[in-house]
């Protein structure tokens, strides 16, 4: 193979240049841009998550709803739709856990980690992209809610505030899912770990009033973070009429849910960053 043995060649002058790398913000945006494109160009992802979400809603609205009491004068559809919308952030977030695990498994994360960019951008880019997807799935969930008969009884400003809260909650949970993805190692493991959201969603005030749950389960339902989040969103969405029925004021639920949001964000975000740096 004489043709390849002689390989001492003049050096390319461009090699003197150093790849400085993109900064945290622009590299996060680039990583996020890739995620959003991936999502937009994988129609089965969009179709399946949308169908799943619609099925859930239809089942609770029409199959189970008739036998679930709201413990108040509130109609079940008005009780349940805010819970459905709020908990949709968790179903949407599960995709993040499998996505992170897949990127690690397939070497995409290694490629990014070998580039001259802040390594944190791999995670912040992911979080950023998933926020976009989360807003999309929240919007679909809201539209479905209105289709099955939900009517806003509070003010539009409050409703928008409720939507904004959902996005914030979603951002906090996003870090939990990123952490799950980092711990999972592969997509299947991450997906199984992600199923932890099932008790979180169903043992909350999202679909059933916590007060109606048996003792033990009820305590969990009362202290876990999704309950005040759902209560805050519901309280804002149904306005003064519904607030009179609730145990606490809207402000109390919002305050408590924001404390949870901050706590989850800090703890999960820190653990995710720590775990990622340790890889």
Partner 1 sequence: MIPILEARGLTKRYGKTQALAGLDLVASPGRVVALLGPNGAGKTTFVRAVATLLRPDAGTLRVDGIDALRNPAKVRQAIGLAGQFAAVEEAMTGRENLEMIGRLFGLSRKDAKAAAVRVLDQIQLTADADRLVRTYSGGMRRRIDLGISLAGTPRLLLLDEPTTGLDPGSRLQLWETIRTLVAAGTDILLTTQYLDEADRLASDIVIIDHGTVIAAGTPAELKTRAGDDMIEVHVRDAGDLPAVCGVLARIGHDPRVNVPARRASVPADDGSARLMEALRALDQEGIAVEDISLRRPTLDEVFLALTGKAPETTGSPGQPASV
- List residues near partner 1 by CB under 8 A: 1, 4-12, 14-15, 17-22, 26-27, 30, 33-34, 37-38, 41-42, 106-108, 110-117
Cα torsion angle, 113, 114, 119, 122, sign: negative
Nearer to partner 1, 247 or 277 (CB): 277
| Shortest reach from residue 130's CB to partner 1, in Å | 16
| Shortest reach from residue 123's CB to partner 1, in Å | 15
| Shortest reach from residue 35's CB to partner 1, in Å | 9
| Shortest reach from residue 207's CB to partner 1, in Å | 34
- What secondary structure, in 3-state letters, does 214-260 show? CCCHHHHHHHCCHHHHHHHHHHHHHHHHHHCCCCCCHHHHHHHHHHH
Give the CA distances from residue 126 to residues 53, 177, 224, 254, in Å, rounded to whole numbers and listed in that order: 22, 11, 26, 27
| Shortest reach from residue 88's CB to partner 1, in Å | 24
The whole-angstrom distance between residue 105's C-alpha and the CA centroid of its chain comes to: 21
Quote the CA–CA distance of 21 and 120 in Å, as a whole number: 13
Nearer to partner 1, 108 or 252 (CB): 108
Q: Which of 99, 24, 100 is nearest to 275 (CA)?
A: 100
Q: Which of 144, 186, 169 is nearest to 268 (CA)?
A: 169
Nearer to partner 1, 11 or 247 (CB): 11
| Shortest reach from residue 248's CB to partner 1, in Å | 46
Nearer to partner 1, 34 or 218 (CB): 34
Q: Which of 47, 56, 135, 54 is nearest to 89 (CA)?
A: 135
Nearer to partner 1, 105 or 222 (CB): 105
Nearer to partner 1, 7 or 247 (CB): 7
The whole-angstrom distance between residue 203's C-alpha and the CA centroid of its chain comes to: 18
């Amino acid at each position: 193979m004489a043709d390849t043995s002689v390989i001492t060649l003049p050096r390319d002058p461009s090699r003197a240049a150093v790849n400085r790398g993109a900064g945290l913000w622009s590299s996060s945006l680039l990583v996020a841009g890739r995620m959003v494109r991936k999502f937009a160009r994988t129609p089965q992802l969009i179709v399946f998550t949308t169908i799943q979400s619609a099925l859930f809603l239809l089942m609770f609205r029409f199959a189970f709803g008739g036998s679930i009491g709201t413990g108040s004068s509130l109609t079940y559809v008005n009780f349940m739709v805010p819970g459905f919308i709020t908990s949709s952030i968790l179903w949407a977030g599960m995709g993040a856990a499998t996505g992170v695990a897949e990127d690690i498994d397939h070497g995409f994360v290694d490629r990014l980690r070998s580039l001259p960019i802040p390594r944190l951008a791999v995670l912040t880019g992911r979080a950023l992209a998933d926020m976009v997807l989360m807003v999309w799935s929240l919007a679909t969930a809201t539209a479905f809610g209105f289709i099955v008969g939900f009517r806003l009884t509070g003010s539009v400003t409050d409703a928008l505030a409720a939507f904004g809260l959902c996005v914030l909650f979603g951002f906090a949970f996003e870090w939990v899912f990123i952490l799950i993805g980092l711990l999972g190692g592969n997509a299947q493991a991450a997906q199984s770990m992600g199923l932890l959201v099932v008790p979180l969603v169903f043992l909350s005030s999202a679909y059933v009033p916590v007060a109606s749950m048996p003792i033990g389960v009820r305590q969990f339902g009362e202290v876990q973070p999704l309950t005040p989040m759902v209560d805050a969103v519901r309280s804002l969405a149904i306005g003064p009429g519904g607030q009179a029925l609730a145990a606490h004021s809207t402000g109390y639920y919002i305050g408590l849910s924001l404390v949870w949001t901050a706590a989850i964000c800090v703890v999960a975000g820190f653990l995710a960053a720590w775990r990622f740096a340790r890889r």
